[in-house]
């Protein structure tokens, strides 16, 4: 929960509530993007962006290289698997 996991914003589901669908290692999940949206970065500009997601909230924009690198280390630490498993269980 503390290390988060990188995901790519696929589409904006709700502009009023800043909800978006992200792809996290092949798992699709709705997350809240309020913390990465601002006047300079409106929600409409976020599609395709990589973000670091903590417990269902995008907390930081990262670039694609950083995303890949972070996913690799999280996998080696076993944290990525735990995070994806938690997402799957929670979706049921």
Partner 1 sequence: MRYVDEFRDSAKASILVREIEALVATMDIPDERPLNIMEVCGGHTHSIFRYGVEGMLPKQIELVHGPGCPVCVLPMGRVDDCVAIAEQKHVIFTTFGDAMRVPGSRKSLLQAKADGADVRMVYSPIDALALARANPTREVVFFGLGFETTMPSTALTILQAEKDDVTNFSVFCNHITIVPTIKAILDSPDLKLDGFLGPGHVSMVIGTAPYEFIARFYRKPMVIAGFEPLDILQSIWMVLKQIKEGRVEIENQYARVVPEGGNSAALRAVARVYELREFFEWRGLGSIDHSGVRLRDAYARFDAERKFAIPNLRIADPKSCQCGEVLKGVIKPWQCKVFGTACTPERPLGALMVSSEGACAAYYQYGGVKRHEAAE
Task: Report if residue 8 touches partner 1, rule: CB under 8 A.
Answer: no
Per CB under 8 A, does 15 bind partner 1?
A: no
Q: If binding is defined by CB under 8 A, does position 49 make contact with partner 1?
A: no
Binds partner 1 (CB under 8 A): choice among 14, 15, 34, 48: 34
Q: Where do we find the tokens 């076993």?
A: 78
By CB under 8 A, tell whether 56 contacts partner 1: yes
Enclosing H/E stretch for 76: helix 64-76
CA distance 48 to 65: 14
How buried is residue 20: exposed, middle or buried, by Cβ count under 10 Å (0-12/13-18/19+)?
buried
- Asked if 27 and 21 count as a contact pair (C-beta separation under 8 A), the reply is no
Between 44 and 89, CB nearer to partner 1: 89
Note the residues at the interface with partner 1 (CB under 8 A). 1-4, 17, 30-32, 34-38, 52, 54-57, 59-60, 62-63, 66, 69-70, 72-73, 76-79, 82-83, 86-87, 89-91
């Amino acid at each position: 929960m503390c290390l988060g996991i990188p995901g790519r914003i696929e589409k904006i589901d709700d502009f009023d509530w800043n909800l978006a669908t992200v792809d996290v290692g092949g798992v699709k999940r709705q997350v809240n993007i309020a913390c990465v949206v601002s006047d300079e970065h409106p929600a409409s500009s976020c599609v395709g962006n990589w973000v670091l997601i903590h417990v269902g909230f995008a907390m930081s924009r990262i670039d694609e290289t950083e995303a890949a690198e972070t996913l690799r280390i999280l996998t080696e630490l076993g944290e990525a698997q735990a995070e994806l498993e938690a997402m799957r269980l929670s979706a049921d």
